[in-house]
Amino acid sequence: MSQILVIDDEVGIRELLSEILTDEGHDVVTAENAATARVRRDAARPDLVLLDIWMPDTDGVTLLKEWAANGQLTMPVVMMSGHATIDTAVEATRIGAVGFLEKPIGMQKLLSSVKQALERAPRPCSVLSLAAFPRSALLKDLRRRLEQVAAKSRSVLLRAPAGSITELAARTLQAPGKAWIDLGHDSQPLTLDLLAQSGGGVLYCGELALLSRLQQKNLAFALERLERHNLRLVAATVHDAGELAAHGWEGALLKALFDVSIGLPALAELKDDVPDLAAHILVQLVEAGDAPHRRLSVAAQNALRLYAWPEGYDQLKSTVKSLALAALEEEIGADDVQHLLTPGAAMLPEVPLGMLPEMLALPLREAREMFERLYFEYHLRLEGGSMTRLADKTGLERTHLYRKLKDLGLRNTPVEKP
């Protein structure tokens, strides 16, 4: 039978529901609050969750939002409450809940709702969006700007540098369970039937310059019908209108596309958010069944944060997937990251904290020289010997950097790389 997670702060309700569902042949796991629910959900991977709205630490609707934002709403969720309003039930449904049980819960109503949720409710798709990053001021502001623009315009253009977080931003405007049509992947003409069936969904284009003539026509066809079919268009490009016009784009279409636009940050601007991005990408891979259960160590996250990511967000995603598939242990370590990103490079030296007393006992000049040697050895290894990245990291002009390395006896260590 099915694995069911029951989340309710009242012990009597947990025990009653567990007893009924166990008698029906289900395996039941319970949690008394949101903190425990997160742990049990990740461990049990339930087929269904019964989620109370009112809990002492985090309410059920907030927990539902969290799972949806993190790409973890991969199971049907039925909400439970004795005091919820219609607005609360509507909001939970909009987020992704598939049903609602009003307390006190009758046995027949419970079994009927459980059966319906397990048999008829489609499994929600695991989708990662900006909503998963509430601690990042930059991503939080970007999400607010997108939602603010989307409230007034059905079409938004993302002015994105190469390798930016275009799809992550666009997914923020996709309602749970609604259609996602990638115009750059479809080589067939769009039809009115498809637009009608996709109501409430998002039409997406990751780079305008890559669209074929037919795909450009699909874009123009859809753009004229967004309001009629309750659709949203999110397109992105690194080019300006003049550059696209020079490649044959029609002026009227470009004017419509560039009417409302938002700038996106490069991944380099999100350096401090890279560990969080990587952790959520990993969760999404695990939830989708594309990777075994893995987690990133703190050292691995720091190694990812310090890497330059010259190919941007897509490189980060492919790196996380490669790490998840190749790691020999459940925890991905800094050495796994180092071997993948800088193959052949020596392992990062650990900072020898035991040297600190010795360093402090030296005259200032000698202590400073010891620290500088340690500092440059560390960053030379971290950057795989790249003098270009080392100069950027240390903020030193190249000539000054070469002279400093020579003075420290490290001149022959780096191997010049792009």
Predicted pLDDT of residue 3: 92
At 48, is the secondary structure helix, strand, or coil?
Answer: strand
Predicted pLDDT of residue 365: 85
Residues 130 and 146: their CA atoms lie apart, in Å, by 10
Residues 389 and 385: their CA atoms lie apart, in Å, by 8
DSSP 394-415: HT--HHHHHHHHHHTT-TTS--
Residue spans of beta strands (DSSP E) within 3-74:
3-7, 27-31, 48-52
Residues 236 and 160: their CA atoms lie apart, in Å, by 6
**Would you give the end-to-end CA distance of the chain in angstroms?**
56
Predicted pLDDT of residue 277: 95
- Amino acid 13 reads I
User: Containing H/E element for 232?
Assistant: strand 232-237
Outline where 55-191 has alpha helix (H): 60-69, 86-95, 107-119, 137-150, 166-171
Residues 100 and 138: their CA atoms lie apart, in Å, by 35
Predicted pLDDT of residue 414: 41
Show the tokens assigned to 72: 């973890």
Q: If phi over 0 gives left and psi between -120 and 50 gives alpha, with beta otherwise, what is residue 25?
A: left
Helices 274-287 and 298-306 pack at an angle, to 10 degrees, of 120
Predicted pLDDT of residue 177: 76
Residues 257 and 220: their CA atoms lie apart, in Å, by 9
Show the tokens assigned to 318: 């492919």
pLDDT along the chain (418 residues), means of 10: 92 94 94 92 89 89 87 88 80 87 91 89 68 90 95 96 94 88 89 93 95 95 95 96 94 96 94 93 86 90 90 95 93 90 59 68 85 82 75 84 83 45
Predicted pLDDT of residue 82: 83
Domains of the chain and any CATH numbers: 3-119 (3.40.50.2300), 138-265 (3.40.50.300), 269-341 (1.10.8.60), 353-407 (1.10.10.60)
Report CA-CA distances (Å) from 220 to 189, 192, 224, 226. 11, 13, 7, 10
Predicted pLDDT of residue 405: 86
The secondary structure of the chain in percent helix, strand, coil, rounded to multiples of 5, reads 50, 10, 40
Predicted pLDDT of residue 350: 54
- Amino acid 398 reads R
Predicted pLDDT of residue 345: 52
Residues 236 and 146: their CA atoms lie apart, in Å, by 13
Show the tokens assigned to 361: 């006992």
Predicted pLDDT of residue 276: 94
